[in-house]
Amino acid sequence: MSHNTNGLARTPLRVQLSPLIDLRFPEFDKHYQLTRLFPEEERYCLAFRPFDCREWHRRHIETILGSVGQRRHFPVYRMSHGEFIMSVGRLDGAQWNELTLRQKASRAYHSLRRRAGIEPVFRSGSTDNTHETFGRDTISRAYAIYLKSLYSIAREGMLAVGLHRAPRYRQYLDPFLDWMDENLIRLDTDNYAHLYSIYVLMHGSDRARLLQGRSVVVVTSLTTERKHILTVALQREGASQVQFLSVSPNQAMFDQLDLSSLKLPVDVVLVGAGVGAASVIEQVRALRAVVL
């Protein structure tokens, strides 16, 4: 049994999040039909109550959109496979019996290389953009920044978490929820959204409501050419202004951002920085914007 900040016992998150609901989002019925082909346990996500996922999504999206232009810091942090590993470490053994001999050999090989310091202790993301890597000499510092940042984000904004039973996720669910309890990180009906809700926001009709007439800042690691492509795309969606802040491709957690070059006010900040987005979100607090 965990305790809240008042020292009172509370029901563990793994118990609170026992209802399973269909992953179904407005405007994405084709995706929903495809999930019907998955094994039953992979078609659902964990929720606090057994409600319609579309209503759950809509409530959180309206909260996000209603915060745009209000001149207050409202962070939304996406949490997926990399963030789970950052929280509780890499959990490789849960599906060991399902692996082929070759897969077992590969897993053991990379595990030994990480222990020897030849490979990073932590790696997550895409080599096409940001991909955080931490060695044995930096992982403790990265973890401390991550934990402190996550605590603030959860208290002030929203966590978009992939709590569904897909193969790469399911072994992390209970350990991650226990870790949230142990570190007193808030997760409840008001601040828990599903990971896919952010994708639906950025690729559905609500994208216009987010970007139309807005001053947008993009924080990521991009070449000049890709910045131009993204600027054109955002302006096509109606953004009134697009500015960039650069972060390193694999150490964004440790970057110190200089906001002085930005033209204010800023309405929306879009962050692409792997797990290091937690640190970035805290550093752009002074912009008083919605941060995704």
Whole-angstrom distance, CA of residue 77 vs CA of residue 109: 33
Q: How far is CA 124 from CA 81, 128, 132, in A?
A: 8, 12, 5
User: What DSSP designation does 10 have?
Assistant: E
Q: How far is CA 22 from CA 41, 69, 183, in A?
A: 10, 33, 29
Nearest to 287 by CA among 270, 154, 60, 186: 270
Q: What is the dihedral of CA 110, 116, 119, 125, to 10 degrees?
A: 80
Q: How far is CA 105 from CA 92, 99, 102, 108, 201, in A?
A: 12, 10, 5, 5, 41
Amino acid (1-letter code) at residue 184: L
First to last CA, the chain: 32
Tokens describing residue 170: 């399911």
What pLDDT score was predicted for residue 222? 84
**pTM of the complete model:** 0.85
Concatenating the DSSP letter of every residue in 102-154 gives HHHHHHHHHHHHHHTTSS-SEEEE-TTS-EEEE-TTTHHHHHHHHHHHHHHHH
The lowest-confidence range among 39-48, 78-87, 196-205 is 39-48
pLDDT at 6 over 90: no
Q: What is the pLDDT of residues 240-285, one digit of tens each?
A: 999 999 998 888 999 999 999 999 999 999 999 989 999 999 999 9
Q: What is the pLDDT of residues 81-127, one digit of tens each?
A: 889 999 998 876 545 555 556 655 554 544 554 454 544 554 565 44
Q: For the residues 174-196, what does the mean pLDDT come to?
A: 96
User: What DSSP designation does 164 have?
Assistant: B
